[in-house]
Each structure stands twice: as structure tokens, then as C-alpha cells.
Structure 1
């Protein structure tokens, strides 16, 4: 067996210690505190009406977000990877905005767009008055979804676009010359090449959607209605009571469990892809 040098051993030890101190130990502390009052309290804490509502909204938001960003990511990546048009570089820059803008700013931007002082508020009110509806965007479920979509839509696109660039257009052009339709070309040639990056992007998008806090907090105000799990955890912890803090850790363990599931799925996708 090859003996490792002092530099290699030092690097390995530093990496392992860093992971243990920054990731493993905090996660263990969350699970330990979640069960500090016993299993009965844990079950009671994660089964309250507010937690169940937050869990349902979190999962529902994640599903809708993945559907929207999945379609957008494939279409945007295909356009940028296969077509040449004016403004292409500007479009790629705009898609990356959520990576550089604070999620809180994204939430405030949605408020100034769809809120009472927003640009689209008069049009929303006109629709409500004409059809006798009560459509609301911010401080309602649609705002939560829009905020989550805003911070996650580059993920799937970013996983697909390098594959499309490396794939080129030779096979697709050859298929088109042989009479294949655009849908057949996409289904038989393009999508098989991006299948695994697409799934990997979905996993990253899902994980980001589950844990989003800043943007959602800006457009959500009703506990039990528009609170996702991260917001419910914050509300429990900020209550200041001992039972509230322990309940916050208990609910946090749900997110930890979801994150571990995402890691397992990601590992499987990476191995197959």
C-alpha cells in the first residue's frame, strides 16, 4: 500500500475535520435536540395543524416549482444551445440573476410588482372587480410559488446547457435532412443526451425549493396558510419558550430527513449519469 505524504495526510485530516465540525456535528445536534423531550413530544410537535399546513405547502410549492423551472430550463437551454439570435448573451446573463441577487430582494421585488403599490396591482384589481374574484399574489400562495420559482429557475438550465454545447448540432441536422420532425429529433436525439443532467437539475431545484427562506418570508405573512417549513421553524424558534425551541428542532428534523433523501437520490443519479 502506498504511503501517503505528510501533505496528503494533512489535507485529508483538515477536510474530514471541517466536514465533521461544519456539517455532521450540527446535524446531529438538531436531531438530538429534536428528541430531547422524548418521542411523544416529537410526534406531537411535528403533527400540529401549522406544521402539517407548512409541510403541505412546502411540498406543493416544490412540485409546482419543479414543473415550471423544468419546462423553462429545457426551453431556455435548447434555445441558447442550439439557436443563434440577437440578445443571446443578454438572455444568458439575465437567467443568472437569481445567483447574484439576495432572495430577500427578490421577495421585495415581487411585492413592488404585484403588491398594493405594485405595477400590476391595478390590473389585478380590475380583473377581480370584473369577474367578482379575489385574486391575490403577494401574501398568498401564488406569491410563495413565484418567490420560489425566482430563486430556483437557473438550476435546471445550468445543468443542461453544457451538455447541449458539447453535443453540437450535427446529429440533429442529419436527422432533419432525413425528414425527421422537430419533436422526433428532440425525443430521439436531444433529450436522451440531457436526461441525466435534467434529473440532476430537478434534484438541485427541489432541494433549493424545500429550504428557501428569504424570498418566501418577504411575501408570506399568515402562519398556517402561507408559511412553509423554514418559516414555521423560524416562528417556533422565535417564540422563545422551551417547548417552542424544541418543537423548532423537531420540525427541522423533517427538513434534514428530506435533505438526506435528496442526497441519496442525487448519488443514484450521479452514478447512473
Structure 2
């Protein structure tokens, strides 16, 4: 009896907290029909927000994947002074508000910031420009690849890597042919989590972007502007599209497990 009670309570919680919100967003987006919803996506500012979000996501995921793999390998394979401090710093973006990180970038690169006047002389714009958005997104998504890879790399050990080194392999050969094949499931998981987080980042980007329509307005920021402008159908349509993109990334994370189960059933 206890088991069924927990089962019912779990599903009720999931339906209320996880399923109902996206269902309501989709319902609001389609309340005037699919044609009206799709028409709102033809707005130039909306299309600019979509493309900017995709560009920022691609750059952020690529950089954090490369950094995450190297950092996880360093932390898994070596014990050195300051290792624990580095682990704490890597988890910092998970523990502080993204708005704080946005303010820090403004403090550093804003017009009145530490480096802002110097960059202005060279006509380099970071705050209220795309580079600032990328920096803010990099900060909030930094831990995901590292934290998903690190436990798997530690469990995998160094025996195969040491054997490859003795056989004459260089660093990149060991990483590409020995280390990564053993952790590709965790790597895929980290990459997709980073992707989903990059797509939906609002707080840090909101502070550092300047909310310039058509230039520095990502999808979350555009949704806010549409909703504040009483364009509810357009706002919920953009929100539904963003939700589908993020959920697609999360669902892909489970694809290797589903494929493995299908293979087991066939076998």
C-alpha cells in the first residue's frame, strides 16, 4: 500500500510541477490557432533573437566542452595543491545567482568598468554586445561538462592511458582514442545539459546584454519584452519554441540508454 501511495504522490507532483507548466504555455500559444502562432515567429526581432540564441549556445557549448574535458581529465588523473579549491571554484556558478555574474561582467567591461574605457578606445565592445552575452553564458554553464565527466573518469582509472603512453601515444592520441571513448556517455550528457542551460539563460544575460532588440536580445529576453508589451500569443509561442528546443536537448541525453535497452531486447 505504501508503494502505491508513493507512486501516486510522485506522479501527482511531476504532473503539477513539471508537466502542467509547459502544457499551459503550449495552450496559450495555440489559443488563436497554429497559423497565428507561427505568424508571430516571422517578426524580424523574434528571428534575430532565435539566431542569436543559437549562436551563443553553439559557441558556449564548444568552449565549455573543450575546457570541461581538459579540466575533468586534470582533476581525475592528478593530485596537486589547490585541487580542492579548484573544484569549489568550478561549482561556484551553481551556487550564486546568475544576476551576480552579469553584474561582475558589467563591473569589468562596462563603460564605467575597470577595463571599459580602455576597450572603448580600441572600439572593442563586450558589455551590451554579443561577447558579453557569451561570457555570461559561459560562466553559468561552466560546471556541467566537468561535473558529469569527473566521476566517470575517476572510476575509469589511468591504466589504459598509461599503457597507451608506454606504447608511444602522445597526449592528444591518448585523450581521443583512450580516454574519451570510455566516457562518451557522460560527455554527451554534459554537453546536452550545457546546451539546455545555454538556451534558457536569462539572469546573467539580462544584465549584461542591454536588451537591444534585434542586436543583443536572446529568446528569453525577447519573451519577456513580448509579454510586457501585452503580446501574449507571441510571447507564449516563443516560450513554447524555446521549451521544445531545451527539452529536445534533454531527451537526446537519454537516447544512448534507450538504444542500449533496445539492443538488449533484440539480443
Asked if Structure 1 and Structure 2 have the same fold, meaning a TM-score greater than 0.5 normalized by the shorter chain, the answer is yes
Higher mean C-alpha displacement, 190-199 vs 140-149 = 190-199
Residue deviations 1:167-190, cap 9 Å, x none? 222222222223332222222211
- 1:236 pairs with 2:226: yes
Shift >6 Å, 4+ stretches? none
The answer to whether the Cα contact below 8 Å between 2:196 and 2:247 also exists between their aligned partners in 1 is no
The answer to whether the Cα contact below 8 Å between 2:25 and 2:239 also exists between their aligned partners in 1 is yes
Q: Which residue of 1 aligns with 2:195?
A: 206
Unaligned runs of 5+ in 1: 1-5, 129-133
- 1:255 pairs with 2:245: no
**Which of 10, 14, 21 is matched with 1:19 structurally?**
14
Q: Which residue of 2 aligns with 1:145?
A: 134
Higher mean C-alpha displacement, 172-181 vs 75-84 = 172-181
Cα RMSD of the aligned pairs, angstroms, is 1.5
- SS in structure 1 at match of 2:134: helix
**Matches for 1:130-169 after TM superposition, within 5 Å:** 134-169=123-158
Distance in 2 (CA, whole Å) between partners of 1:263 and 1:111 is 31
- SS in structure 1 at match of 2:187: helix
The answer to whether the Cα contact below 8 Å between 2:200 and 2:246 also exists between their aligned partners in 1 is no
Deviation at 1:208, TM superposition (A): 0.2
Alpha carbons of structure 1 residues 120 and 270: separation in structure 2 relative to 1, 3 Å = farther
The answer to whether the Cα contact below 8 Å between 2:196 and 2:250 also exists between their aligned partners in 1 is no
Distance in 2 (CA, whole Å) between partners of 1:40 and 1:177 is 63
- 1:107 pairs with 2:102: yes
Higher mean C-alpha displacement, 85-94 vs 136-145 = 85-94
The answer to whether the Cα contact below 8 Å between 1:199 and 1:269 also exists between their aligned partners in 2 is no
Deviation at 1:272, TM superposition (A): 5.2
The answer to whether the Cα contact below 8 Å between 2:136 and 2:205 also exists between their aligned partners in 1 is yes
Distance in 2 (CA, whole Å) between partners of 1:84 and 1:24 is 44
Q: Which residue of 2 aligns with 1:62?
A: 57
Deviation at 1:106, TM superposition (A): 0.6
- SS in structure 2 at match of 1:86: coil
Q: Which residue of 2 aligns with 1:28?
A: 23
Alpha carbons of structure 1 residues 42 and 269: separation in structure 2 relative to 1, 3 Å = same
The answer to whether the Cα contact below 8 Å between 1:152 and 1:209 also exists between their aligned partners in 2 is yes
Unaligned runs of 5+ in 2: 261-267
Q: Which residue of 2 aligns with 1:220?
A: 209
TM superposition score normalised by structure 2: 0.92
Q: Which residue of 2 aligns with 1:40?
A: 35
Deviation at 1:91, TM superposition (A): 1.1
Distance in 1 (CA, whole Å) between partners of 2:115 and 2:243 is 38
